[in-house]
């Protein structure tokens, strides 16, 4: 099961990052958006990233041009008709994802692998709306995609071994380090990471220490490159809140119940770096 042509649904932060790393690795990539303005913004971000690579001496201008030439933006899902794999990186909404997978199943050739970049939703629920559930898997990249090496390869109860092997080879061809995990809420990294963050939030909420000292303790005491509250601001507090809610709903485990402070910050629009304010002020 050889992969040469890649499709990506979504050209936002994650979809754009996946598109870029695939094109850098030599793949022909078609990236889809729902509106021209979203597509222009996504392609523009990729171009900016490539230009930054040239300025830093990591890419030549010829390499930049070759990578850009391997990327095609589209508003029409019909352009996925010749893809070997399509990776969905749309909004974290199950109804929308099911709709996307049902449409991809109708459009893509029978041998096409369908993958999702979801961070916590059930992949089997997406797979069963298709006529090819054995060819549906999770490929969960981490942000920023160009920098983070980890990709979670998530298999459902019905994903074939051949598809898993193809997914692993594909991830390695991108220079990524894959880990294998089951289709359970939060998969592996978020199951571990959210348990860590939820307790950090509770400690901060209870006034155990200042935000600066909490972050310093984990950076210097456990050699973490970034403190947990800094990390939360980087990820986005709304994203973390959504993941925690989804995991709590699925597992019914109080461990993942979002702390009150997190809910209030999200309600106030204090989402971290992307809004200029979270646990820290970035304005």
Catalytic site residue from 88, 140, 230, 246: 140
DSSP 81-146: TT-SEEEE---S-HHHHHHHHHHHHHHS-TT-EEEE--SSS-HHHHHTTSS-GGGEEEEEE-SSTT
Joined tokens for residue 84: 């070997």
DSSP 134-146: GGEEEEEE-SSTT
Q: Is 152 a catalytic residue?
A: yes
DSSP 149-217: -EEEEEE-SS--HHHHHHHHHHHHHTT-EEEEEESSTTTTHHHHHHHHHHHHHHHHHTTSS-HHHHHHH
Q: What angle do CA 272, 274, 275 make, to 5 degrees?
A: 75
Question: Do 101 and 87 form a contact (C-beta atoms < 8 A)?
Answer: no
Residue 95 region by backbone torsions, left for phi larger than 0, else alpha for psi between -120 and 50, else beta: alpha
Catalytic site residue from 20, 190, 230, 246: 190
Measure CA 26 to chain center: 21
CB atoms within 10 A of CB 270: 17
Q: Is 143 a catalytic residue?
A: no
Catalytic site residue from 20, 33, 88, 152: 152
Catalytic site residue from 117, 119, 122, 246: 119
Q: Is 173 a catalytic residue?
A: no
Half-sphere exposure of 51 (CA within 13 A, CB side): 6
Residues serving a catalytic function are 119, 140, 152, 190
């Amino acid at each position: 099961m050889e992969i040469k042509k890649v499709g990506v649904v979504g050209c936002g932060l994650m979809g754009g990052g996946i598109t870029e790393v695939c094109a850098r690795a030599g793949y022909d990539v078609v990236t889809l958006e729902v509106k021209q303005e979203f597509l222009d913004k996504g392609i523009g971000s990729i171009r900016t990233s490539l230009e930054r690579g040239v300025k830093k001496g990591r890419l030549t201008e010829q390499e930049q041009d070759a990578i850009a030439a391997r990327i095609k933006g589209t508003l029409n899902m019909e352009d996925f008709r010749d893809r070997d794999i399509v990776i969905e990186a749309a909004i974290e909404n199950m109804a929308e994802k099911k709709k996307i997978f049902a449409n991809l199943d109708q459009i893509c050739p029978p041998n096409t692998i369908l993958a999702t970049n979801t961070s916590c939703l059930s992949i089997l629920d997406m797979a069963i709306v298709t006529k090819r559930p054995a060819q549906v898997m999770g490929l969960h990249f981490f942000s920023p995609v160009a920098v983070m090496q980890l990709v979670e390869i998530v298999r459902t109860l019905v994903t074939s071994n051949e598809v898993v092997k193809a997914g692993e080879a594909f991830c390695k061809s991108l220079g990524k380090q894959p880990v294998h995990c089951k289709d359970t809420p939060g998969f592996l990294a978020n199951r571990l990471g959210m348990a860590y963050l939820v307790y950090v939030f509770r400690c901060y909420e209870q006034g155990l220490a200042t935000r600066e000292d909490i972050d310093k303790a984990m950076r210097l005491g456990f050699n973490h490159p970034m403190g947990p509250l800094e990390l939360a601001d980087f990820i986005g507090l709304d994203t973390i809140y959504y993941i925690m809610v989804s995991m709590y709903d699925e597992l019914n485990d109080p461990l993942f119940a979002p702390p009150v402070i997190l809910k209030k910050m999200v309600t106030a629009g204090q989402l971290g770096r992307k809004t200029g304010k979270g646990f820290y002020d970035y304005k």
